[in-house]
Amino acid sequence: MPQVPIIMPQLGESIAEATVVSVLVAPGDQVTAGQDVIEVETNKATMNVASPCPGKVVQVSVSVGESYPVGTTLGQLEVSESEADRLGLKGRNGSGSGSGSAPTRQEPRSGETPAARVSVQPTVRGLPVPASAGGASYMSPRLKARMAELGLHAADLAGVAGSGAAGRVTIEDFEKFIAQLEQLQVSPASSMRVAVADAMRRSWTRPLATVALPVNLDPLLSHRRGCDPKPGPALYAMRALALALAENTAPAGRLVGTRIVHPASIDVGFAVEAEDGVLVPVMRQADRRPLRDMVVRYNELVDLARQRRLPPDATGQSIATVTNFGTFGLTWATPIPLPEQTLVLGMGAGRKVPSWDEQRQAFLPIMEANLTLSFDHRVLDGGAAGRLLSRIAGLLQQPESL
């Protein structure tokens, strides 16, 4: 009797594989066309694979808990001669003659060689991870359970090259990855490093973008020379950001469902490098305190952060962060906002650059630095972010107003 394969169908757009949850039939069972025979789970839903036609189940070649790519033969149905004729199988390679099952592909003609599977080779060599490493964008229930057992996240598998359909990471790929780690030198991550990693992983679930603008630091530096105690560049940036947000709080709002929740207070944090991580002390009501009154408290919080002894009233519940990555000699960076924030303002290292002076009709040297504003693109678009950054840059040109 001829046989018809039960094929893993395309269960949805971008679905490349599915995991078998249960088998609803057994060899010898008679099934009808459209009858559910196998229950499978994708990364979107649980669905059923139906019989393509009436017949008798001859074989089920899958295991519960295993994942199979689209197009895999999951089993075989024995069908009647008339059904094979209706499906167009009769007379093809002996199908319908009772001598065997229908092959899944046409055999090559005489003189032809079987088609070889073409593999694409990367043109860039020496990559830090395999070119095919897409990470665990889809995880089977078995892989999820194994990762939960080890306390791992999908981000931990970002450099793993999957051997499954469409480059998916299988449980075998995962176990091989874990075994390889055991052969390398491993050091425990500090609690702060783990906390920072968790915060950044949660932050990256949002669509983030960055805009930048060069700013002339000469007015700021001139104003600073006349101050005692002297505020740091990051404090100037914090005060300018606070004033700009006080004028319009919407850019610092958080999108919750279909509403943007505006902040009740302009509490701005600033990044301080501590041992094996970064802490973010918070300056409360930064829009209501003039720059000269903030210097002592700012310096105090920097010292406490480096000692990891920040008081509770100086942590959490901030609406934005300022980071001075210029202290590391960097001129450009794309900082990531904290999970509870929409904005992070960055300041790069100052450099002497030529600037055209319209009055003198000549290029004059100025001290210039890049300001960057990284933001949650769900709340802000490029235009709104650009206007906010321009306002901050304008305030920095008038430091006496801060």
Cα 128 to chain center, whole Å?
A: 19
pLDDT at 139 over 80: no
Query: How large is the average pLDDT for residues 118-143?
Result: 48
pLDDT at 122 over 50: no
pLDDT at 318 over 50: yes
d(CA 208, CA 202) in angstroms, rounded, equals: 12
Q: Which two tokens stand for residue 115?
A: 């088609």
The residue that leads in pLDDT, 125 or 306, is 306
Closest C-alpha to 321, from 368, 279, 350, 293: 279
Query: How large is the average pLDDT for residues 222-244?
Result: 93
pLDDT at 306 over 50: yes
- Give pLDDT tens digits for 350-364: 999 999 989 999 999
- The mean pLDDT of the chain is 82
d(CA 255, CA 260) in angstroms, rounded, equals: 4
- Predicted pLDDT at 190: 76
The residue that leads in pLDDT, 163 or 238, is 238
- Predicted pLDDT at 32: 92
CA distances to 107, 231, 241, 277, 325 from 402, in Å: 80, 11, 10, 30, 22
d(CA 342, CA 207) in angstroms, rounded, equals: 11
End-to-end CA distance of the chain: give it in Å, rounded: 89
- Predicted pLDDT at 374: 95
- Predicted pLDDT at 186: 75
pLDDT at 48 over 90: no
**Which range, of 134-143, 151-160, 280-289, averages the lowest pLDDT?**
134-143
Q: Using 50, 70 and 90 to split pLDDT, how confident is the model at 278?
A: confident
**Which range, of 73-77, 83-87, 199-203, 245-249, averages the lowest pLDDT?**
83-87
Counting DSSP H helices and E strands in the chain, the numbers are: 8, 19
The residue that leads in pLDDT, 369 or 307, is 369
- Cβ-based burial of 201 (10 A; exposed 0-12, middle 13-18, buried ≥19): middle
Task: Give 196's DSSP letter.
Answer: H
- Predicted pLDDT at 167: 65
- Give pLDDT tens digits for 81-99: 888 877 766 554 444 444 3
- Give pLDDT tens digits for 180-194: 877 877 777 777 777
- Give pLDDT tens digits for 29-38: 999 988 999 9
**Which range, of 241-255, 305-319, 320-334, averages the lowest pLDDT?**
305-319
- Predicted pLDDT at 166: 58
Q: Which two tokens stand for residue 147?
A: 């990762």
pLDDT at 113 over 50: no
d(CA 141, CA 40) in angstroms, rounded, equals: 11
What is this structure's pTM? 0.60
- Predicted pLDDT at 117: 33
**Which range, of 94-103, 133-142, 243-252, 294-303, averages the lowest pLDDT?**
94-103
- Give pLDDT tens digits for 353-392: 999 989 999 999 999 999 999 999 999 999 999 999 999 9
- Predicted pLDDT at 131: 40
Closest C-alpha to 375, from 238, 199, 208, 202: 208
Task: List, in order of start, the domains of the chain with CATH numbers.
Answer: 3-86 (2.40.50.100), 141-186 (no CATH), 204-401 (3.30.559.10)
Task: Give 12's DSSP letter.
Answer: S
The residue that leads in pLDDT, 263 or 193, is 263
For residue 321, what are the contacts with CB-CB under 8 A and spacing of at least 6? 268, 269, 270, 271, 280, 335, 337, 338, 341, 343, 344, 345
Q: Cα dihedral sign for 397, 340, 43, 117?
A: positive
Listed ranges 31-40, 157-166, 236-245; the one with the highest mean pLDDT: 236-245
- Predicted pLDDT at 205: 82
Per cent of the chain over pLDDT 70 is 84
